Structure 1
C-alpha cells in the first residue's frame, strides 16, 4: 500500500503508455465490431 509513494516517473510513463496502447486497441476492436 505504501509503495505507491515510491513509484518512479519512468514506471508511471511506461504504465501510461501501456494503458494508452490498450485503449487504442480496444477502441479499434470495438470500431471493427460495430461496423
Structure 2
C-alpha cells in the first residue's frame, strides 16, 4: 500500500507539473495578447 501510494504521488506530481506549465503558457499567451 505504501509503495503504491508513493508511486501514485510521483506520477501525479509529474502530471501536475505538466498541467501547471500548460496553464502558465496559456496565461502567458493571453497576457501577451492583451498587452499588445
| TM-score (normalised: structure 2) | 0.74
Computed over aligned residues only, the root mean square deviation of the Cα atoms, in angstroms, reads 1.3
> Based on CA coordinates, which of the two structures has the bigger radius of gyration?
2
- Structure 1 stretches of 4+ moved >4 Å: none
Q: Which has a greater percent of helix?
A: 2
* Structure 2: tracts of 5 or more residues without a match: 1-5
| TM-score (normalised: structure 1) | 0.76
* Structure 1: tracts of 5 or more residues without a match: 1-5
- The alignment covers a number of residue pairs equal to 30
